Each structure stands twice: as structure tokens, then as C-alpha cells.
Structure 1
């Protein structure tokens, strides 16, 4: 039995009405992560292991600060989207709503805290 109407099949919408939007969103995020994660790991790793003053001086430079901020945003946004997908699949009802709100709040809080710390170091 087919659950797709001719119109939905023609427009690419599935049974949920969202179609391939989430797939393309995660595809773009994954492609960004292929570039950003190695840059983040090598840039962040190069700044570790020194004294406090050396680390602050390293992350005060524009390139390490930009790469670290971009890495935090892209990685945490990808984690949030993946967590939302898992929650939508396995949790239902009010617990689903609370879990979605909690994961969004947690990831945005981590982004804000990380960017605040980075700005405080850079300035």
C-alpha cells in the first residue's frame, strides 16, 4: 500500500510532509564538518599545552579565535539536529516536547558560553 499521493511524490514530500529538508540540512552540516572539524582539532590542539599566558596570546589572534568559534557553532548545531531527530523517533508526547526544548537550550547555552569565553580571551 502506498502512502504517498501523486502530488507528494512529485514534490518530494514524504508522509510527514517535511520531505527531504532534514536530509539536505544534515548533508550541508556534514559537509561543513568535513572542513571545520580538522581545522578545529589542529588549531585548538596547537593552542594547548602552554602556560596560561601563551594560551591566551594564541587564542587572541584572529585565525584561532575564528576557527574555534566556527567549530563550536557548526559542531553543536549538528549535534542538536541529530539529537532532535533521535528524540522525534523514540520519545513521544510531552516528554518529547520537554526533551526537544532541553536539548535546544543545552546546545545554545554551550554555544553562548563558548563564544563568550572566546570573546573574553580575544579582547
Structure 2
């Protein structure tokens, strides 16, 4: 006696085995964002009222640049994962789903790279 439904026997479909990895990536990025956001917020608060040269100097320091690059990378990866879940759960047309998933990936990559480029430009004095 099998526990499978007749339709399942015909299709021979099983678990995609991808949901756990996706869930873990969302949780790990969420936890990683907490200290990064706190440090970035501390920098912003410490620079309130500072002149342009001081802000530029502090943001070009290696540790600050590293924190900002990590914050940008992890934020946009977390955003991509979260929007992907929303699109997969609530968009039922296959064509719309594929188009939105591609736009999600492109948007997160382009905006994330633009932000990273701005930090790198500050870090290297460009």
C-alpha cells in the first residue's frame, strides 16, 4: 500500500528540495543585517552636522567601506530573496511570474552594484 496519490504516481514528482536552502539564506541574511545596520547607523549618527570633507574622509576609511559594502551586498541579496517569495506565492500567471522574477534579479543587481560602486569610488578617492 502506497501513501502516494494516483496523480503523484503518474507524474513522479517529488520535493524540489530547494525551500530549506532559500529559507536559511533569508534567515542568515536577516541576522547578518542586524549588526551591520547598527554599525552603519552609528556612523550616520556620528556624522550628523559634520562638514563634507569629514564625511568623505570617514566613509573612505577601509573599515567603513567594508561595512558599507557588506551592508549593500547582504541587503540586496535579502531583498531579492524576499521579493522572490512574494512573487512566487502571489503571481499565478507563469509568464508574469518569470518576467517579474527576472526584473527582481536585474533590479537588485543593478541598484546593488550602483551603490557598491559609489562606496568604492569614495574608498579609492575617485
Q: TM-score range by the shorter chain?
A: 0.7 to 0.9
Superimposed CA distance per residue, residues 59-112 of structure 1 (whole angstroms, 9 cap, x where no aligned partner): 111111111111111111101100001001011311111111111111111111
Q: Describe how 1:52-63 pairs up with structure 2 within 5 A.
A: 52-63=52-63
Distance apart, 1:40 and its partner CA: 2.2
Larger relative CO (CA 8 A, sep 6+): 1 or 2? 2
Count of residues in correspondence between the two structures: 113
Distance 2:60 2:21 in 1: 38
**Structure 2 length as normaliser, TM-score?**
0.77
Runs of 5+ unmatched residues, structure 1 = 5-13
**Structure 1 length as normaliser, TM-score?**
0.79
Q: Describe how 1:1-80 pairs up with structure 2 within 5 A.
A: 15-80=15-80
Distance 1:83 1:3 in 2: 33
Distance 1:117 1:109 in 2: 12
Distance apart, 1:50 and its partner CA: 2.5
| 8 Å CA contact retained: 1:76, 1:107 | yes
Corresponding position of 1:10: none
Bigger shift: residues 17-26 or 99-108: 17-26
| 8 Å CA contact retained: 1:88, 1:96 | yes
Runs of 5+ unmatched residues, structure 2 = 6-13
Distance 1:45 1:88 in 2: 38
List structure 1 runs of 4+ shifted beyond 4 angstroms: none
Corresponding position of 2:118: 117
Distance apart, 1:28 and its partner CA: 1.5
